[in-house]
A and B are shown apart, each in its own frame.
Chain A
Amino acid sequence: MRSFFLTLAAYFMIEYFTNQAKMSKNKLTPKILLLLISTDILETVAQFCFKKSALSGSGIEIKSFSTLALFFKLNFFSLFLWSAFVAVFILFIIWSSVLSKIDLSIAVPIASFSYILVPLVSIVFLKEKVTWLRWGGIFFIILGVISVSFSSREKRDAHS
């Protein structure tokens, strides 16, 4: 869901600014940094709300189609699900405006901070446990996401 909108936003902005080639990008101003941090927080809020919504139906033993339908019905009427949608929508708008001002290779590493924020929120508010091995895994995932986002720079250099 979230990536559907994020792709749309990313594509739209990249198209827009390849048309205006002379725009100076890549300046990470405090305002943009603040916006990027707010996307981290919104992402975390959205995931937390999705989890809360899913928990509202977790008491159901899903064995048949009717219990599955009941599960989704409970979710559909959960305020948390709709809060998550609102968070994703605001995320979409902020992400679009940020990408119009800064490169993906700068925006994505800062946005991948949510891979740390989500486990932290899980520990504090959902009483989940995160082992050291899992933190290690998360560290590798973040490194991977940063490498992938830097490859957008590699590709552009090849074109110029």
Chain B
Amino acid sequence: MKQGGLFLISLIVVTSLFDTISQLMLKSSINSVGFSTRGIKKIISSIIRLVVIPRVWAGFLFCIVSLAVWLFVLSKAELNFAFSVDSMHYIFIAFASRIILKERVGILRWLGTVLIVIGITLVALSS
């Protein structure tokens, strides 16, 4: 592995993690509002109820920090390397949905997660 490769991977972990946090905040806010899409009026009122939730804005903040870290990573790493390793957010989301949102995660999703882990390991070893 190239010098600093581990440092870059840990930064990609940070950006993926922040991305996941941002999505969890968004998803849990939408869940709490009970987003209704029956008719334009209900859509608009759902959006308004969503915008006043602080968690949505916190989520947006995490998303901006994640983007800033991503730009920093790209200034150091090859694009194809960073983009492949960034797929680890699928793994974080699988775990987070299971633990925090208490969603049921099926066998196929765990299998996919393992395959992504293998893939990322190969990509990391190739640098």
User: Do A1 and B35 touch (CB < 8 A)?
Assistant: no
User: Do A134 and B126 touch (CB < 8 A)?
Assistant: yes
The residues of B that contact A19 with a CB separation of less than 8 Å are: 37-38
Does A16 count as interface, using CB distance less than 8 angstroms? yes
Residues of B in contact with A (beta carbons under 8 Å apart): 19, 22-23, 26-27, 30, 35-38, 59-60, 63-64, 66-68, 70-76, 78-81, 83-84, 87, 89-90, 94, 104-109, 111-127
- Least CB distance from A91 to B in Å reads 15
4 nearest CB pairs, A to B? A147-B112, A137-B122, A140-B119, A144-B115
* A residues 1-55 in Cβ contact with B at 8 Å: 1, 3-4, 7-8, 11-12, 15-16, 19, 47-48, 50-51, 53-55
The residues of A that contact B76 with a CB separation of less than 8 Å are: 58
Residues of A in contact with B (beta carbons under 8 Å apart): 1, 3-4, 7-8, 11-12, 15-16, 19, 47-48, 50-51, 53-55, 57-58, 62, 71-72, 75, 81, 115, 118-119, 121-123, 126, 128, 130-131, 133-134, 136-151, 154-155, 158
The residues of B that contact A1 with a CB separation of less than 8 Å are: 63-64, 66-67, 70
Q: Is the interface of A mostly helix, strand, loop or mixed?
A: helix
User: Do B63 and A144 touch (CB < 8 A)?
Assistant: no
The residues of A that contact B90 with a CB separation of less than 8 Å are: 144-145, 148
Given A126-B79, A140-B115, A144-B90, does the pair A71, B72 have CB atoms closer than 8 Å?
A: yes
Bound CA span A136–B126, Å: 10
